[in-house]
Amino acid sequence: MNPAAKKNGLIWLLLVIASVWIIVTAPPLENDMGQFLPSAVTPQQALLLDEISQGTGSRLFLLAVSGGEPAHLDETSRALKQKLSKTSHFQQVLNGESLIDEKTRQLLFDYRYLLIKTEITQETLHNALQKRLRELTSPVGMPGRRYLPNDPTAASREILTRWASNNGAVETRGIWRSPDNSQILLMLQSNYPATALEQQATAIESIRRAFDTLPDHERLKLTITGPPYFGVESRRIIRQEARSMSLYASIGVALLLLFSFRSLRLLLLAALPLASGVLAGTATVLLTFNGMHAITLAFGITLIGVAVDYPIHLFTHLRHGERGEEAMQRIWPILRLGLITTTLGFSALLLTDFGGLAQLGAFAVAGLFAAALVTRYLLPTLTPESVQSNPFERPVRWLFSAQSPTRRRWAIPLVILVLSGLTLLLSSEQLWEHDLRRLSPISAETREQDQQLRQQLGEADAGRLLIISGTSAEDVLQQSEQLESLLEHAVKKGLLSRFDLPSRLLPSHRIQLENRNLLPDRNSLQKDLAQAVAGMPFKAGLFTPFLDDVAKARKRAPLSFEQLESSPLGLRLSAQLQRKPDGRWRGLVPLTGVSDEPALEQLVERADISIAYLNLHRDTSELVGSYRDEALRLAGLGGVVILFVLLFALRNLSQLVRVTLPVVTAVLTTAALLAFLGEQLSLFHIAALLLVLGIGLDYALFVTYTPTSDPAFPATLSSLLICNLSTLLVFGLLAATSVPVLSAIGLTVLTGAVFSLIFSVSMVHNETHP
């Protein structure tokens, strides 16, 4: 080995060691699909993205237990709630039973006259006492009879009704149940953000352990859904699919290379560029982004089907008795031009505001450069001089000697290009996928179960809400109170059926003080009470505690968020009144039964408060659509740059057409075929089409630089065939995965690689390259 080769080997070894060290010391892989959401540009987009990734709904588990008799299921619900409440993983565990313990009930009772408006006059007292008397004498009896001496107006009952709302869930015997009475239902609020998958996995395991300790749990069936569960399950599926896909792909490519070159040494050498590319791509992403998504790594593994092309080209172009350096010098200008143009295409992803897509771009650029440089400077010195001809070379030689290339072959891809363009134009309305939920590897059956549980628990319309922004809790609550009359007007007009305001749970200090000021002094109240109770069979002095409580309420300071925050009620209040890390506050107003969204939005726009209307599904789709358009624009810009690079390198317009026509045709035909088959395209299809672009350029450049009159032509065509087969192996397996993102990439590249080879070969020619 000459000194230059030793130097190259030493540099490679040091870079490998550095990459391994970066990978070993890096944090675990990330699995949050929010990485593939765009960055916020407007305040409303910031609200939207924050709600998707950090909102209360993102920490919600939904549970269903079935398989037992109704009475047994009731006991199961209570036992499961008790066990889960004792763990440290959940802020609250709800099964339909009241959250309000005795201490909290007393707190609300003490503040009842500040929390609701209560006009206490002789007339209102008389009417209230008549109602209490009818309740006392009814067969059902009076609810909360023990509170009568303190609360003859039943103000505390109204407060408890507000807090005890179950959002429309079906409730039987105090337990949430499905409408057909076959399941008991629970809602769990996790302590962790949805992105903390390790902690969420531990929480899920605690649910399963608690269930397994229930009596007769073998006869019961537990169903878990919700965003945290979906995040953990997605991670498991992605990891499992990535491991199995990489194993099968490696075996498939290894067998193909062994069949093609019949040399274990060449097989091991072919693995060097691939391993170097994966290491370099991983280390680059970790250094640049301080972490890496699991999908990025899974996509990077697909370099097996691309980076291995470089050593295949080297091995197939080796002539008998020729050194590797000599063969590399002949093909390096083609490899170099293909490398530059391919990485220019992927560089467009680096300019996007999608963290996940930017990672894909960085991985591809770094990985392909590393694989190409290892092939160029390390592999030739290790390649043996005697390499057997591959079994594909003789059939290729016979096939092209039996027919004469025609100058009109360019017409075939040109016609297909026009037809593909028309297909895409006619499919433009349904061409793009906007629903991010369909990118999840979670099965349609599990998503359907989640939707059913949400409907049964009154959570089906959680995607529509108003968000109030303020500088303090008091600011948000006052704005919420201003909003109430507007929303009541919207309900009367039929624009929606129901809404939930944070100020209904906790009025602002201003309203509490107004309510306090309405309370009469003790002497006035005592006179009014005496006249109101006259003629009724209540004992004298029965309502003295009522007089004492009103007197205390007149001196009581308003109830604050901090007082409720540490109580069980604070958990529910925090779902609608939130303190953000930047010190600002936010109020969430869930809307149910929205029937006329445009009219409701117009009504909200006229409100003189800091409020935003969000339809999470619609607004996310629009946001993704806008960034998809940006990605297309950047990809188009990259295409123009590639065109100029090719024109500069080829310096011949006819050669430029011969290179670009099959590539453009392959890309557009792939997209058109996917659209024709009903496959809606996403941002990941764009990334995959960039990979098709790179593959097509590789094929087209080799065909263009090697006319049929060149002795190396059979070797060139056979190398392209082997490269194509390796790509089909890898991306065929990827297309079969259950992860939609990986499947989309696999199906796109699989189809594009076939078209790239067909259209490139259709452009073979007799002329010698200038």
Q: Average pLDDT over the chain, rounded to whole?
A: 82
pLDDT at 682: 81
In 3D space, the residue among 464, 440, 454, 442 whose CA is nearest the CA of residue 62 turns out to be: 454
Question: For residue 393, is pLDDT > 60?
Answer: yes
Question: For residue 165, is pLDDT > 80?
Answer: no
Residue 377, H or E segment: helix 355-377
433 pLDDT tier (thresholds 50, 70, 90): confident
- Quote the CA–CA distance of 656 and 652 in Å, as a whole number: 6
123 pLDDT tier (thresholds 50, 70, 90): very high
Question: So what's the architecture of 3-30+230-391+410-438+619-761 in CATH?
Answer: Up-down Bundle (1.20)
Average pLDDT over residues 445-457: 77
The winner for highest mean pLDDT among 114-123, 156-165, 315-324, 423-432 is 114-123
Residue 186, H or E segment: strand 183-190
Query: What's phi and psi for 196, nearest 5 deg?
Result: -85, 75
- Quote the CA–CA distance of 456 and 178 in Å, as a whole number: 6
Three-state DSSP class for residue 223:
strand
pLDDT at 756: 92
pLDDT 10s digits, 48-95 = 556 555 556 677 888 999 887 877 888 888 899 889 988 889 877 888
CA 475 to chain centre: 32
Is 241:737 a contact under the CB 8 Å cutoff? Answer: yes
pLDDT at 7: 83
In 3D space, the residue among 98, 60, 96 whose CA is nearest the CA of residue 185 turns out to be: 96
Give the pairing of strands 221-225 and 60-66.
antiparallel
- Quote the CA–CA distance of 448 and 330 in Å, as a whole number: 58
Which conformational region is residue 661 in: left (phi greater than 0), alpha (psi within -120 to 50 degrees), or beta?
alpha
Residues 6+ apart with CB under 8 A from 647: 653, 656
518 pLDDT tier (thresholds 50, 70, 90): very high
The winner for highest mean pLDDT among 6-15, 132-141, 168-177 is 6-15
Cα–Cα–Cα angle for 441, 295, 45, nearest 5°?
80
pLDDT at 35: 57
Q: Look at 296-305, 402-411, 424-433, 653-662 and tell me which has the smallest mean pLDDT.
A: 402-411
pLDDT at 246: 76
> The whole model's pTM is what?
0.72
List b or e across 463-482, with b for residues whose CB sees 16 or more CB atoms inside 10 angstroms.
bbbbbbbbeebbbbbbbbbb
CA 83 to chain centre: 31
- Quote the CA–CA distance of 621 and 642 in Å, as a whole number: 31
688 pLDDT tier (thresholds 50, 70, 90): confident
- Quote the CA–CA distance of 729 and 694 in Å, as a whole number: 17
In 3D space, the residue among 183, 148, 197, 216 whose CA is nearest the CA of residue 77 turns out to be: 183
- Quote the CA–CA distance of 279 and 292 in Å, as a whole number: 13
Average pLDDT over residues 484-494: 89
pLDDT at 593: 82
Where helices occur in 188-290 by DSSP H, the ranges are 197-212, 227-261, 264-289
Q: Look at 223-227, 301-305, 306-310, 656-660 and tell me which has the smallest mean pLDDT.
A: 301-305
770 pLDDT tier (thresholds 50, 70, 90): very low
Beta strands in 34-182 (DSSP E): 60-66, 90-94, 171-172, 175-176
pLDDT at 555: 93
pLDDT 10s digits, 233-268 = 887 887 787 778 778 888 888 898 888 888 888 889
- Quote the CA–CA distance of 686 and 617 in Å, as a whole number: 22
List b or e across 535-553, with b for residues whose CB sees 16 or more CB atoms inside 10 angstroms.
eeebeeeebeebbebbeeb
pLDDT at 4: 75
Question: For residue 460, is pLDDT > 50?
Answer: no
Residues 6+ apart with CB under 8 A from 324: 314, 318, 379, 380, 381, 382, 383, 385
Residue 339, H or E segment: helix 324-347
Largest CA-CA distance found in the chain, in angstroms, rounded: 122
437 pLDDT tier (thresholds 50, 70, 90): low
Query: What's phi and psi for 618, nearest 5 deg?
Result: -65, -50
Tell me the domain boundaries of the chain.
3-30+230-391+410-438+619-761
Percent of the chain with pLDDT over 90: 18
List b or e across 350-379, with b for residues whose CB sees 16 or more CB atoms inside 10 angstroms.
bbbebbbbbbbbbbbbbbbbbbbbbbbbbb
pLDDT at 507: 94
The structure tokens listed for 270 are 């072919």
Residue 65, CB half-sphere, CA atoms under 13 Å: how many?
A: 31
Cα–Cα–Cα angle for 673, 675, 677, nearest 5°?
70
Query: Residue 737 gets which letter from DSSP?
Result: S
458 pLDDT tier (thresholds 50, 70, 90): low
222/630: higher pLDDT: 222
In 3D space, the residue among 753, 687, 667, 754 whose CA is nearest the CA of residue 298 turns out to be: 687
Beta strands in 543-639 (DSSP E): 577-579, 585-592, 611-615
Query: Residue 30 gets which letter from DSSP?
Result: B
- Quote the CA–CA distance of 255 and 211 in Å, as a whole number: 47
The winner for highest mean pLDDT among 205-214, 230-239, 574-583 is 205-214
627/704: higher pLDDT: 704
- Quote the CA–CA distance of 213 and 540 in Å, as a whole number: 55
Average pLDDT over residues 419-445: 74
- Quote the CA–CA distance of 36 and 624 in Å, as a whole number: 10
Based on the number of CB atoms within 10 Å of its own CB, is 210 exposed (0-12), middle (13-18) or buried (19 or more)?
buried
Q: Look at 1-15, 382-396, 700-714 and tell me which has the smallest mean pLDDT.
A: 382-396
1 pLDDT tier (thresholds 50, 70, 90): low
Where helices occur in 612-682 by DSSP H, the ranges are 616-650, 653-676
The winner for highest mean pLDDT among 167-171, 323-327, 530-534 is 530-534
Question: For residue 400, is pLDDT > 70?
Answer: no
pLDDT at 752: 93
List b or e across 162-191, with b for residues whose CB sees 16 or more CB atoms inside 10 angstroms.
ebeeeebbbeeeebbbbeeeebbbbbbbbe
What are the beta bridge partners of residue 61?
A: 188
DSSP per position, 698-720: HHHHHHHHS-TTSTTHHHHHHHH
pLDDT at 477: 93
Average pLDDT over residues 671-689: 84
Question: For residue 655, is pLDDT > 60?
Answer: yes
Residue tagged 């948000």 (tokens): 476
Based on the number of CB atoms within 10 Å of its own CB, is 212 exposed (0-12), middle (13-18) or buried (19 or more)?
exposed
Percent of the chain with pLDDT over 70: 86
In 3D space, the residue among 226, 207, 230 whose CA is nearest the CA of residue 457 turns out to be: 226
The winner for highest mean pLDDT among 44-48, 136-140, 461-465, 566-570 is 136-140
pLDDT at 556: 93
Cα four-point dihedral sign 192, 197, 201, 202: negative
Residues 6+ apart with CB under 8 A from 129: 152, 532, 533, 536, 538
DSSP per position, 91-128: EEEESSS----HHHHHHHHHTHHHHS-----HHHHHHH
Is 592:440 a contact under the CB 8 Å cutoff? Answer: no
- Quote the CA–CA distance of 383 and 210 in Å, as a whole number: 60
Give the pairing of strands 90-94 and 183-190.
antiparallel
